[in-house]
């Protein structure tokens, strides 16, 4: 009898892990280099014979833009999958790795070799393109969907690197120099704020603040970049702090002008990576939430008062040889009470990372060896379970309008 009870308990535990919660949202993801879509328990493979990377949902969820590349990184062609017509097409035969959907329509913008373009619309689908501006390094849509914030890399002069110019450009600029309006110029120097480029733009929830990373020269940027904010009128600029150049390591709160980021310098994850919250204006207040002896290596807002981080113990003893793997576990931080709780439970030699919040669900990747599975739980106290097996990277989750 005791053996039967033990078998039943073990079977029930394994069954509960494999069967996911009643997930209601939709995700686009990559498996075996192909694009897939999953809603609830239904998975559909939508491409064959491609090398899919970086899927992104359009404004209303009808389209998914993605890159068709190759293993060597020599190819990077932009494609769009139409979920209504169930086919993939090229808006125009171009190569890019930097593309973004409009926040207000199914118009797609992309940077190809420094030329910023936007798609035109034909029969309800993004087709063809129009030039917007030349000399573009980084860009992002303004929240109104009618303009872009654009940066250009600084130029090297006999006296050193020059400033980083930023522009406000209408979607309809069509290379007209008279429509390129100066927005802000970042003055840099090697002793304080040094950089040659600005990118990874993100707007606060109300569109009043723009966060971005000022990037120095290549070797320097591996160890330190400057997180900065700029007001939507271009009249208030602040450096927030130093961090590595990972765009998902800084995120705005869902309904307040609070910026969460992983602060700290040094390219190795073994120490000095702290979850930090900055209140706008950033000079007013900043607070670190990572306990002594630990590092936080990913973050996501769960609610206005709670932030999820991927946390591991520091490894200050390491100083040479292969870089150690940091086996992270998810924790939730209540930024009002400072209470912190563990919310995921990986086994030995597993690590949890890249958390995302969709509706009231939390998803994350669990890595063991070379395999990633996407796990999910409902709320902070729900039961964790596998939702998508054998996934290559964090999915693109379709957000409600």
pLDDT at 119: 97
Handedness of CA 380, 386, 387, 390 (dihedral sign): positive
Q: For residue 340, how many other CB atoms are within 10 A of its CB? A: 18
Query: Can you tell me the distance from the alpha carbon of 321 to that of 246, in angstroms, rounded to the nearest whole number?
Result: 24
Among left, alpha and beta (phi > 0; psi -120 to 50; other), residue 390 is left
Q: Is 306 in a helix, a strand, or coil?
A: strand
- Res 29: pLDDT: 98
- Residue 312 is encoded by which pair of tokens? 């591991």
pLDDT of residue 401: 79
pLDDT at 283: 65
* pTM attached to this predicted model: 0.93
Tell me the H-state helices in 148-261: 218-221
According to the model, what pLDDT value does residue 148 have?
98
The segments of the chain whose pLDDT lies below 50 read 1-20
pLDDT of residue 191: 81
Partners of 333 in the beta sheet? 307, 340
CA distance 134 to 138: 11
pLDDT at 205: 96
Token digits for 86?
A: 């169930």
Long-range contact set of residues 267-270: C-beta below 8 Å, sequence gap at least 24 = 267/222, 267/223, 268/318, 268/323, 269/295, 269/297, 269/312, 269/323, 269/326, 270/295, 270/314, 270/315, 270/316, 270/318, 270/323, 270/324, 270/326
Give the whole-angstrom CA distance, residue 350 versus residue 17: 15
Q: Which two tokens stand for residue 18?
A: 């494999």
């Amino acid at each position: 009898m005791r053996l039967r009870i033990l078998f039943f308990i073990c079977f029930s535990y394994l069954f509960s892990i494999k069967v996911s919660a009643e997930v209601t949202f939709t995700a686009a993801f990559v498996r075996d280099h192909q694009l897939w879509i999953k809603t609830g328990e239904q998975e559909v493979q939508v491409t064959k014979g491609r090398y899919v990377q970086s899927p992104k949902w359009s404004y209303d969820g009808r389209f998914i833009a993605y890159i068709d590349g190759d293993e060597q990184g020599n190819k990077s062609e932009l494609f769009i999958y139409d979920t209504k017509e169930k086919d993939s097409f090229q808006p125009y035969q171009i190569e890019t790795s930097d593309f973004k959907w409009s926040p207000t329509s199914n118009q797609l913008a992309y940077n190809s070799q420094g030329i910023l373009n936007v798609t035109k619309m034909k029969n309800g689908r993004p087709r063809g393109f129009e030039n917007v501006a030349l000399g573009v390094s980084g860009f992002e849509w303004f929240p109104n969907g009618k303009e872009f914030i654009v940066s250009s890399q600084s130029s090297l002069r006999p006296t050193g690197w020059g400033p980083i110019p930023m522009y406000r450009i209408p979607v309809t600029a069509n290379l007209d120099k008279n429509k390129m309006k100066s927005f802000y110029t970042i003055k840099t120097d090697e002793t304080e704020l040094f950089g040659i480029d600005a990118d990874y733009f993100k707007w606060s929830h109300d569109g009043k603040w723009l966060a971005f990373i000022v990037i120095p020269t290549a070797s320097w940027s591996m160890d330190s970049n400057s997180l900065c904010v700029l007001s939507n009128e271009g009249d208030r600029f602040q450096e927030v702090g130093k961090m590595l150049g990972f765009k998902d390591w800084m995120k705005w709160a869902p309904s307040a002008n609070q910026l969460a980021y992983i602060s700290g310098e040094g390219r190795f994850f073994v120490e000095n990576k702290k979850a930090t919250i900055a209140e706008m204006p950033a000079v007013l207040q900043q607070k670190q939430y990572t306990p002594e002896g630990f590092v936080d290596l990913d973050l996501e807002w769960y609610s206005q008062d709670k932030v999820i981080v991927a946390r591991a113990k520091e490894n200050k003893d390491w100083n040479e040889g292969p870089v150690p793997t940091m086996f992270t576990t998810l924790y939730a931080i209540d930024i009002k009470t400072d209470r912190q709780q563990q919310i995921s439970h990986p086994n030995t030699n597993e690590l949890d990372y890249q958390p995302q919040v969709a509706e009231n669900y939390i998803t994350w990747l669990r890595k063991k060896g070379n395999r990633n599975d996407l796990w999910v739980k409902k709320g902070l106290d729900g039961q964790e379970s596998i939702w998508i097996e054998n996934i290559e990277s964090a999915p693109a989750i379709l957000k409600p309008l």
